[in-house]
Amino acid sequence: MADVGVDETLLKGIAERVAGEAAELVREAWTGMNAGREVRVDTKSADTDVVTAVDHESERLVRARLAELRPDDAVLGEEGGGIAGDGVTWVVDPIDGTVNFLYGLPWFAVSVAAQVGGVSVAGAVVEPVSGRRWTAARGQGAFLDGRPLAVNAPSRLDLTLVGTGFAYKVERRTKQARFVAELATRVRDVRRNGAASLDLCAVAAGWLDAYVEHGLGHWDWAAGALIAAEAGAQVSLPGEDAELGPDATFAVAPSIAAPLRQALLDSGVGGI
């Protein structure tokens, strides 16, 4: 890989600006849809795995803006594909939480991250409906609308609130549901909010104590995992903790990391 000089602050600003512009497009479309405007919906890996015309429009806007602002960088987007480059690669989820978007639930976001060598160095997750902006740059902390974020410090496993998510494929989901049924008997409660990027931001804000999910795409975690880590979470990404499963993403408040990890293993997380 080429030696890339990186200005994380600059990249964070661009991520926030571009995600914010796409979020505005998504917000207008969502408002129109809720007022009865038709939105084209297709399916992907399963009948439950949906993509709307708005996902495509949002990604097109992000790509067009990045082409103007950062013409030499690579872009990897959920809908348009792409491959990582030698320098900065932008990793884009044009709507994370598309099922929520489609049902009128306001919990979805545009996620844009800058990565170098597969490592996130800056990112932004912007929520179209609330307007909340979650941002982070490597070594500079994480912020919600400019306010610094810090994870919780839970001390009891049975009082730990854990977020998770399910894959679209039924075979995988069956195993995930078994694991969650077991986990739910050992922790305060389990949340399935429907947008991985925002689950990771929720850990950063202390709205969740931990989050675990198997099978995320690169675009699901690229910005949110940096935001969680910069707020003090212990984070393992797909490929980093084989015992939790080869494609597990785990973000947790450090005070409860060891007992929760053990509880996940005891609940059968490795077999998912």
d(Cα 14, Cα 19) in Å, to the nearest integer? Answer: 8
Q: Is 127 in the site for Ca ion (CB under 5 A)?
A: no
Is 96 one of the annotated binding-site residues? Answer: yes
Sequence-ordered list of residues with C-beta below 8 angstroms from that of 169, at least 6 positions apart, any chain: 45, 46
165 binds, among Ca ion, ligand IPD, none (CB under 5 to 8 A by kind): ligand IPD
Alpha carbon separation from 158 to 151, 165, 166, 208, 260 (Å, rounded): 18, 20, 22, 14, 10
Q: Is 79 in the site for ligand IPD (CB under 6 A)?
A: no
Q: With contacts defined by CB under 6 A, name the span among 91-99, 114-122, 201-209, 255-263 that binds ligand IPD.
A: 91-99
2, burial (CB in 10 Å: exposed 0-12, middle 13-18, buried 19+) = exposed
Is 95 one of the annotated binding-site residues? Answer: yes
Binding track, positions 85-124, relative to Ca ion; x by CB under 5 A: --------x-xx----------------------------
Among 77, 97, 245, 259, binds ligand IPD (CB under 6 A): 97
- Please give the order of strands across the beta sheet that includes 161-164: 189-191, 161-164, 210-214, 248-252, 234-236
Closer by beta carbon to Ca ion, 186 or else 214: 214
Token reading at 117: 């060598």
**Which residues would be at the binding site for ligand IPD (CB under 6 A)?**
93, 96-98, 165-166, 194-196, 213, 216, 220
